[in-house]
Structure 1
Amino acid sequence: MKGAGVVWSQIVNSRDLRCLQRFRCKADRPRSSSGRLLVHPRPWEWDVQSYLRNSPKLKAGHLVLLGRCGEDVVAVARLEVTARENDCHVFIASAAIDLDHRGKGGRMADALMLQIRETAEEQGRGLRQQEVLLWGKIHSENLSSQAMVTRAGFEPLEAPGLNSYEMWGVRFTVE
């Protein structure tokens, strides 16, 4: 629905994850001139879409943020919240934008990151923590996600590991 606003909600119940079965955040795999499927050029997109569609059940402290335009899911993030001794860690297990909502200057991605941060702050406040570490891992070749989190104030926290994923994060005080 063009021009319609995004409505944000949270899922904490595994049976409500069915709405992600049609969510599409990856382009189709390319084909050779003979029609054979080739390796996906952005394997992290394949991994994220598969993870969201086949997500393990939500455990305590896990939640899914959904952005919807009408019935369509246009943005999704899966978060894992853990209370530590002195702070709250919120791990972004996945964050994705529907293919039809990409390439528009990052507006949807920025809205998703704002929702993630607000949710992390709420979780920290609910756990009576004054500090929140919001973090996730991004493939070293995923420049779009790196730009998205940089705009949200994240910085690299470590060099890429053997699997080419880098840890990015931001620490902030709960108000």
Structure 2
Amino acid sequence: MDLTGLEWSVLRDRKSAVELQKFVCTTERPRTDRGRTLKHPKEWEFEVQALLRNGSRHLKAHGLLLAGRGLSPDHQIDAAAWLEIGAANDVLELFIKACGVCLDQRHRGGVIADEMMQQALMTGSAALEDAGKNRMRVPWNLHVRYSASESYFTRSGFEPSGLPVGHYQ
């Protein structure tokens, strides 16, 4: 356990990723008075939740999920990140496909997110060593309207690279 009290584990196969199907990192989609489902106000959060929940169906051999547990009484997953690892020449790429903190822990979201980033980088460093590579590159995409995520990556020492593609940069 670290400062947040979370215990981190790596989920490498689809079977172990099934427990993420209950992961909640955003609010439900709003509804009209007549019950019609509306567009989610923070579409990027909804997309991240969908990606993490569907990890058991789409996880490939080069992907893994980080799961942080421990703050809730039932030991549910309180934070999760989907990482994909690839290599080209002497560079290992650690792509952070999605990451989120459950709604119940949002009041501690920044601290938990910082620890999740450290866990992701430690996982990447271990893969770097295992692959015998010299350098690691950490590409990521984030929604241009999601300033909290931008602050998260900037606080972690990353800088934007390239031009935005659609709603993502």
The TM-score with structure 1 as length reference comes to 0.86
Greater helix share, 1 or 2?
2
Matches within 5 A, 1:1-175: 5-55=5-55, 56-69=57-70, 71-104=75-108, 106-162=110-166, 164-166=167-169
Secondary structure of the residue aligned to 1:52 is helix
Secondary structure of the residue aligned to 1:51 is helix
Specify whether residues 99 and 84 from structure 1 end up closer, same or farther in structure 2 by C-alpha distance, changes over 3 A only.
Answer: same
Among the aligned pairs, what percent are the same residue? 34
Q: Matched residue pairs, number?
A: 163
Task: Indicate if the aligned counterparts of 2:83 and 2:96 stay in contact, CA closer than 8 A.
Answer: yes
Task: Indicate if the aligned counterparts of 2:142 and 2:149 stay in contact, CA closer than 8 A.
Answer: yes
Secondary structure of the residue aligned to 1:28 is coil
Task: Indicate if the aligned counterparts of 2:10 and 2:67 stay in contact, CA closer than 8 A.
Answer: yes
Structure 1 residue runs of 4+, over 4 Å off?
Answer: none
2:165 & 2:60 partners in 1: Cα distance? Answer: 27
1:97 & 1:50 partners in 2: Cα distance? Answer: 13
Secondary structure of the residue aligned to 1:24 is coil
> How many Å apart are 1:117 and its aligned residue?
0.9
Greater strand share, 1 or 2?
1
CA RMSD of aligned residues (A): 1.8
Secondary structure of the residue aligned to 1:136 is coil
Secondary structure of the residue aligned to 1:155 is coil
Amino acid of the structure 1 residue aligned with 2:136: V
Amino acid of the structure 2 residue aligned with 1:90: L
2:120 & 2:93 partners in 1: Cα distance? Answer: 13
Residue in 2 aligned with 1:169?
none
1:107 & 1:54 partners in 2: Cα distance? Answer: 25
> How many Å apart are 1:4 and its aligned residue?
7.4
1:4 & 1:150 partners in 2: Cα distance? Answer: 21
Specify whether residues 83 and 4 from structure 1 end up closer, same or farther in structure 2 by C-alpha distance, changes over 3 A only.
Answer: closer
Amino acid of the structure 2 residue aligned with 1:103: H
The TM-score with structure 2 as length reference comes to 0.89
